[in-house]
Chains A and B, each alone.
Chain A
Amino acid sequence: MVDRIIKKLYTFTIFLFLYAPIIILIIFSFNNSKSRGTWDGFTLKWYVELFQDRQVLKAFYNTLLIAISSSIISTIIGTVAAIGIHYMNGFSKKAILNLNYLPVLNPDIVTAVSLMTLYRMLKIDFGLLTMLLSHITFCVPYVILSILPKLKQMNKHLPEAAMDLGATPMYALRKVVLPEIMPGIVTGALMAFTLSIDDFVISFFNTGHGVSNLSITIFSMARRGINPVINALSTLMFGAMMILLLIINKRTDKTIKERG
């Protein structure tokens, strides 16, 4: 009995710790005062101002643009590469897998500065393009790592059977292998999207003049105090994610029930 109460209390404390800053952010997006210390009555004005704030909207647009395009491109590269890696063996497979782990295990800042030196050597102008290339580079390994286990689980006789029945290798790949590994591809794509949208370090080092995303905007505001408009935007984004989650949850619940 006491045991259970202690467990409950412990769980509650941990979740309070995790969510306290988020609750604060949401509450202060409705705060009339601009300073972050004092509460000065309820207002929606930051939400109105948000839609007139060009700088913040542009940063939001860049964040989304980069996140969507880098997750699509890295999912394609990652899926193709994962299938290739799965059918490799021996030393070359090990070598590629280890190289693939480098961006995962290396600290962000080292990956970021190494890409920075590359672009300078190649004399590529820093901007959206360098940011996109960098995001793809650090997202692909995660996509590959989430697809490989699915390929391993797949019955290896499935594509062989399809080809025995007359499917061309490409057709077997499209109709048999891809559907089998689809859950891994979806996980990988979502992971890439989340990593990209939340990234700061890689973007910070690999962006050019005037091109900024939300994280960079927040970082540059931090010294002077963050404009509550950012709180409003984050609250909206957070809300959107929660709604999406609820919809997905309901749907999976429904399919589970339908399947009995």
Chain B
Amino acid sequence: MKLKKFTFPYIIWLTIFIVIPLFLVLLYAFTIGDSKDISTFQFSLNNLERFFSSPVYIQVLLRSVRLAFISTVICLLIGYPIAYIISRENPKKRNTMILMFVIPMWMNFLLRTYAWLTLLGRNGIINIIITKLGFQQINFLYNDNAVLLGMVYNFLPFMVLPIFSILTKMNINLIEAAEDLGADKTTTFKKVIFPLSLPGVMTGVSMVFIPAVSTFIISSLLGGNKSSLIGNLIEQQFMYTGDWHFGSTMSIILMVFILISMAVTSRFDKQKEGEGGGLW
């Protein structure tokens, strides 16, 4: 059977819609000229220089990385225990509970993020409760914490699902063996369960970190005007300013940053193998 040939249409598709576009972004990133006319393009490192010589842009980049990092850590800290609790339930209950992590995604995520405005606003529900209890009104919105909350809220399922799936697949005999050999619960968790679940943790970390570091919606809905992230800068260049060259430069910088952080995390993940390994 020459079933290999079945890949041809997709290879063509991949080339046109994945490979060429990425090269175009690379081309835009290192050129200047009229972005509508390729014949005016000239090689230049101006955009790169413009980015790295401006403290404002660097600050925005560092802030995106910092917020994404913090939200990934929070997702891991609250996501791991819940994944663990659910994985110890009986199969029927377990499936229902994990499905409950997927169901919220059926409501438009912009709308769900927007609903936090109703909950956290100056006259929002949480503030009403706080003032009824006799405390001072709290200003939740339009700061970094609100952005963090939005990130954790939107991406928590991406952390829980891979950890859950690796915990349920884990060989129960290993845990029992550890207990039979005299390990207490904490030791079993530290020496057996957690190390075995690391591949799931790593998947979760990248599935939270990548969308968090590149988002521009959460910051523009909950963060107000002051809290731009790198995603907002890219959006502005492409949609309003019209400087596609500079926008592309920032996209490439973002990609390189993600590649570096993924390379760092994958060093912890020695057990990862199989399909698609190698490059990532």
Contact = CB atoms under 8 A, between A and B. Distances in A.
Interface of A: 7, 10-11, 14-15, 17-22, 24-25, 28, 36-38, 77-78, 80-81, 83-88, 94, 96-103, 105-110, 113-118, 120-121, 133-134, 137, 140, 144-145, 148, 159, 163, 169, 173, 194, 198, 200-201, 205, 214-215, 218-219, 222, 226, 230-231, 234, 237-238, 241-242, 245
A87 B1 contact: yes
A186 to B, nearest CB: 16
A84 B278 contact: no
B133 interface: no
Interface string B213-238: 11011001100000000010011001
B210 interface: yes
Nearest 8 A/B pairs, CB to CB: A84-B6, A107-B214, A84-B7, A21-B115, A81-B10, A114-B21, A87-B3, A118-B21
A110 B255 contact: yes
B249 to A, nearest CB: 11
A97 B217 contact: no
B60 to A, nearest CB: 14
Given A96-B7, A163-B1, A222-B221, 8 more contacts: A21-B119, A96-B14, A106-B258, A108-B214, A114-B22, A133-B17, A200-B109, A222-B114
Contacts, number: 217
Interface residues on B, range: 35 or more
Given A10-B81, A108-B211, A115 B114 contact: no
Mostly, the B contact residues are helix
B185 to A, nearest CB: 10
Contacts of B211: 107-108
Given A21-B112, A105-B280, A205 B238 contact: yes
A192 to B, nearest CB: 14
Contacts of B5: 84
